[in-house]
Structure 1
Amino acid sequence: MGKVLKCIIIDDEEGAHLVLRYYIKDLKKLQLEASFYNPVEAMDYMYRNPVDLIFLDINMPGMTGLQMLKALNNPPLVILTTAYTEYALESYEYRVVDYLVKPFDTARFMAAMDNVFNRFRSIAGLSEVKDSAQVPEVASLILKVDGDIIKVLLRDIVHVQSWGNYVKVFTDEGHYLSAITTSEIEQKLDKKLFIRIHKSHIVSLNRIRKISGGQLELGNGTILPIGNTYKRELLEAFQL
């Protein structure tokens, strides 16, 4: 990854700033642009300057770190730095790459940064798909349906649902019932474009409109459940 990531620190404790600056200074791919002791000043800075990554404390006077994330429509990537563990699950509803519990050592900090750099590599790999918002015409799935062999374009697939010993493949025009398992069809789908959200459901990432609690809503209004096993991976993929 050639890009040097621009980061900021938001924490109300001076000691936390000192620790993070010490770790950041040794990374050539990470540039500390500014440090703030409250979220309001940091938000004002981000409205005027590009930021790739935030090191963000949770418990701060006036506005908490999670309240700040709720207020931002399109936040940068975030590493939460906190002395408390109880916010870990809630944090993954936002664009959180990692959750560092104070005090953390060099190894734990570097593991978090490895997650950040991997995320940016993933974003670069998906950028063409995101920009075009469509799948090439040649990308397709072959299904056996009532004795016929049918080619379904991946760009037309909205979601896939387990149906006993079959699967239902839902498209813009209707659905196909095919004698194949959910796991088998998952192997045939492009993992950059489709994601499993439940033991019985696979969805197109481009068709997700909203994620709310334990459910997601597709662009056509369909509501599907999210399995606990798949929630973290879904949230990370959806926010790329």
Structure 2
Amino acid sequence: MIKYLIIDDESMAHDIIKRYCDLLPNFQLIQHCYDAIEALECLNNNKVDLIFLDLNMPKLKGFDFLKSLSKPPKVIVTTAYKEYALEGYELNIVDYLLKPFSFERFLKAINKIQDQNKEQSEATQRLEEEHDGGVFLRSNKKHIQVKLKDILFIEAIGNYSKVVTKQEEITVREKISDLLKTVSNNQFFQIHKSFIVAKDHINSIEGNRIFIDEYLIPVGKTFKVNLKALLK
């Protein structure tokens, strides 16, 4: 379901956009807004996936309104002024519709949203597959496959490293720096010369200590920058 908002000071524009949206499946109008101030209040109280945005409005112009949003929904501009198109695309709008626009042109803009949603879904799936992937660890003359999502942390022990998972502890004869390359993705962070932690399994962080299940892991002074990256 795509929840949308119409922001335009002309009633006729509202009628046309709503009529077009009513012809499409899975579109739900949240509110008719006739100026940007009214729209800001609506966005504070509702989840909105798409905005149809006019530019020349009282109180606050369309692009000024858009720039005020920290995390704007997808935006399709609907305006009679073609000279602002470049600025619109610099603000990452989906499409720029010049009034009056046909249903066919309107549908083309909607299809761009669906294409973007598909690309985002595929990218998310790729990241999940990468995160769920397995690695082979050599231990006691055999190779053991471990799912990345099961690793809690890795600890350096002399010339060896210990990989701690939900189910077991596996000792491997590899440096912790080499293991970091093996498990490298956006979920693993070295926070001490002897420890790599998996972000998803952290229960809490207190000062220079990280808690994962019943384990307490120190944060090294020289690795504070990695801790900041982990917290983002």
TM-score, normalised on structure 2? 0.54
Structure 1 residues 61, 113: CA separation in 2 closer, same or farther (over 3 Å shift)? same
Conserved? CA contact 1:76–1:95, under 8 Å: no
**CA displacement at 1:85 relative to structure 2:** 0.5
Worse-superposed segment, 115-124 or 52-61? 115-124
**CA displacement at 1:92 relative to structure 2:** 1.1
- 1:61 equivalenced with 2:43 (yes/no): no
Which of residues 91, 107, 111 is equivalent to 2:108? 111
Task: Specify the alignment match of 2:47 in structure 1.
Answer: 50
**CA displacement at 1:127 relative to structure 2:** 2.4
Question: What is the letter of the counterpart of residue 55 of structure 1?
Answer: F
List aligned pairs for 1:91-170, cutoff 5 A: 91-128=88-125
| Superposition RMSD in Å | 2.6
Task: Specify the alignment match of 2:79 in structure 1.
Answer: 82
Q: Tell me how far apart the structure 2 counterparts of residues 134 and 90 of structure 1 sit (CA, whole Å).
A: 37
List aligned pairs for 1:198-213, cutoff 5 A: none
Task: Specify the alignment match of 2:4 in structure 1.
Answer: 7
Q: In the TM superposition, what whole-angstrom CA distance separates every residue of 1:11-53 from its partner, at most 9, and x where no partner exists?
A: 0011100111110111112111111000111111111110000
Worse-superposed segment, 73-82 or 38-47? 38-47
Q: Tell me how far apart the structure 2 counterparts of residues 58 and 115 of structure 1 sit (CA, whole Å).
A: 21
Q: Tell me how far apart the structure 1 counterparts of residues 132 and 67 of structure 2 sit (CA, whole Å).
A: 32
List aligned pairs for 1:176-195, cutoff 5 A: none
Structure 1 residues 45, 135: CA separation in 2 closer, same or farther (over 3 Å shift)? same
Structure 1 gap ranges (5+): 139-151, 157-240
Q: Tell me how far apart the structure 2 counterparts of residues 45 and 131 of structure 1 sit (CA, whole Å).
A: 33
Task: Specify the alignment match of 2:17 in structure 1.
Answer: 20
Query: How many percent of aligned residue pairs carry the same amino acid?
Result: 40
**CA displacement at 1:129 relative to structure 2:** 5.6
**CA displacement at 1:8 relative to structure 2:** 0.7
Q: Tell me how far apart the structure 1 counterparts of residues 60 and 77 of structure 2 sit (CA, whole Å).
A: 15
Structure 1 residues 130, 9: CA separation in 2 closer, same or farther (over 3 Å shift)? farther
Report which structure shows greater RCO (CA 8 Å, sep ≥6). 1
TM-score, normalised on structure 1? 0.53
Question: What is the letter of the counterpart of residue 113 of structure 2?
Answer: V
